[in-house]
């Protein structure tokens, strides 16, 4: 039996593949629009194709004995989602519906879904639990929430069960040094800082210095990508063992770091000084986003192993190494 990883050539998907290999057979489906061939694991079977394409999915489900699907494949740029909402609804929602239809048709009943803290929008509490209201403020967050609703309805109507994982800020790179965070264009804070410290940009911009936080910059909860990967495996094993069914879990470390603190830590770890431009707020950025991950800790025993320093160290190792590879 195999696990199908949709989006296994992307940042979080590729790290999950690495954690699965050795214990599970893995099939990766990726159209490589935002993923990178260099992140693909040679021990996984790779199918180049689109999960919105029924013929591709027929081939995948007919040729492989798929037991579960982990679904990472999505567009995830907030700004782009505002400018091109239909692209987001078509790809993130439409393609997922096709995938779910095919899962039901072929009797594949376990699904782990990559969702996001963006479903909460601007939260009214400092620490966010799964009970917080979901009020996404952009098409990206709404597209993820729509899929969450579709999953709930699918599980009521069919022999189908799921776990939804709402990630906070993924960061870090695999301990092997073989894979790390790669996006094009890059919009995430830590890789932007590290690439700048490696000389790839003249300066970095800090979006907003007048937030109601101790140093005026936004606070986020960073979680190591390997911890995220392991949460997926625990969720899947929880579904298999009947420990969990149709649940939603937050994934974060439970600690918040400001943008200024993150820059300071990156400088410390790299031994280099950043040139910082203090600019206007980025639209749609809440001041503070920190997760309570108590629910997944209690139910599935997930505990994040890495702190922010380790995330930046592993990311720095990866970025320094891949600097000349033009990934």
Binding residues for ligand UDP restricted to 107-166, rule: CB under 6 A:
none
Rule CB under 6 A: choose which of 205, 246, 313, 320 binds ligand UDP: 205
C-alpha–C-alpha distance, residues 242 and 232, integer Å: 15
Binding of ligand UDP by 218 (CB under 6 A): yes
Q: Is 236 a catalytic residue?
A: no
> Which residue do the tokens 């490696």 mark?
198
Instruction: Tell the smallest beta-carbon distance from residue 152 to ligand UDP (Å).
Output: 24
The 3-state secondary structure of the chain, one letter per residue: CEEEEECCCCHHHHHHHHHHECCEEEEEEECCCCCCHHHCCCCCEEEECCCCCHHHHHHHHHHCCEEEEEECCCCCCHHHHHHCHHHHHHHHHHHHHHHHHHHHHHCCCEEEEEEEHHHHCCCCCCEECCCCCCCCCCHHHHHHHHHHHHHHHHHHHCCCEEEEEEECEEECCCCCCCCCCCCCCCCCHHHHHHHHHCCCCCCEEEECCCCCCCCCCCEECEEEHHHHHHHHHHHHHHHHHCCCCCEEEEECCCCCEEHHHHHHHHHHHHCCCCCEEEECCCCCCCCEEEECCHHHHHHHCCCCCCCHHHHHHHHHHHHHHHHHHCC
Binding of ligand UDP by 183 (CB under 6 A): no
Rule CB under 6 A: choose which of 12, 192, 231, 234 binds ligand UDP: 192
Rule CB under 6 A: choose which of 24, 36, 89, 207 binds ligand UDP: 207
Contact region with ligand UDP (CB under 6 A), list: 145-153, 158-166, 184-192, 299-307:
184-192
Instruction: Give the N- to C-terminal CA distance of the chain in Å, as an integer.
Output: 33
Nearer to ligand UDP, 11 or 236 (CB): 11
Nearer to ligand UDP, 189 or 225 (CB): 189
Instruction: Tell the smallest beta-carbon distance from residue 217 to ligand UDP (Å).
Output: 7
Binding residues for ligand UDP restricted to 266-295, rule: CB under 6 A:
282, 285
* Upstream peptide bond of 69 is cis (omega within 30 degrees of 0): no
Token pair, residue 73, equals 């494949």
Closest chain position to ligand UDP (CB): 218
Nearer to ligand UDP, 56 or 92 (CB): 92
Binding of ligand UDP by 197 (CB under 6 A): no
Contact region with ligand UDP (CB under 6 A), list: 38-46, 66-74, 198-206, 268-276:
198-206
Nearer to ligand UDP, 17 or 189 (CB): 189
Rule CB under 6 A: choose which of 220, 224, 232, 319 binds ligand UDP: 220
Find the catalytic residue in 11, 88, 120, 140.
Answer: 140
C-alpha–C-alpha distance, residues 39 and 232, integer Å: 18
Rule CB under 6 A: choose which of 259, 290, 291, 296 binds ligand UDP: 259
Nearer to ligand UDP, 87 or 282 (CB): 282
Binding residues for ligand UDP restricted to 30-89, rule: CB under 6 A:
none
Binding of ligand UDP by 296 (CB under 6 A): no
Active site residues: 140
User: Which residues contribute to the site for ligand UDP (CB under 6 A)?
Assistant: 169, 187-189, 192, 204-207, 218, 220, 259, 282, 285
């Amino acid at each position: 039996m195999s696990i199908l990883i949709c989006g296994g050539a992307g940042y979080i998907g590729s790290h999950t593949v690495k954690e699965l290999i050795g214990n599970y057979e893995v099939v990766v489906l990726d159209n490589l629009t935002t993923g990178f061939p260099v992140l693909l694991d040679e021990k996984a079977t790779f199918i180049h194709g689109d999960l919105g394409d029924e013929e591709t999915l027929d081939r995948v489900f007919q040729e492989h004995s798929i037991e579960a699907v982990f679904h990472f494949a999505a567009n995830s740029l907030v700004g782009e989602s505002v400018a091109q909402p239909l692209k987001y609804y078509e790809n993130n929602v439409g393609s997922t519906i096709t995938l779910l239809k095919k899962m039901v048709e072929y009797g594949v009943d376990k699904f782990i879904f990559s969702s996001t803290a963006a479903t909460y929008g601007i939260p009214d509490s400092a620490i966010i639990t799964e009970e917080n209201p979901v009020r996404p403020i952009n098409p990206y967050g709404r597209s993820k929430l729509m899929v969450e609703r579709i999953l709930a309805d699918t599980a009521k109507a069919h022999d189908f069960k799921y776990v939804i994982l709402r990630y906070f800020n993924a960061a870090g790179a695999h301990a092997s040094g073989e894979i790390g965070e790669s996006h094009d264009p890059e919009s995430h804070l830590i890789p932007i800082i590290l690439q700048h410290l490696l000389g790839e940009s003249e300066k970095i911009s800090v979006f907003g210095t007048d937030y109601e936080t101790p140093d005026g910059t936004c606070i986020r909860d960073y979680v190591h990508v390997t911890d995220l990967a392991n949460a997926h495996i625990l969720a899947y094993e929880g579904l298999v063992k009947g420990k969990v069914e149709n649940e939603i879990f937050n994934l974060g470390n439970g600690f918040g770091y400001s943008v200024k603190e993150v820059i300071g830590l990156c400088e410390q770890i790299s031994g280099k000084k950043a040139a910082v431009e203090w600019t206007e707020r980025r639209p749609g950025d809440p001041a503070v986003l920190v997760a309570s991950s108590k629910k997944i800790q209690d139910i599935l025993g997930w505990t994040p192993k890495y702190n922010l320093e380790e995330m930046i160290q592993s990311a720095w190792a990866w970025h320094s190494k891949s600097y000349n590879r033009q990934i």
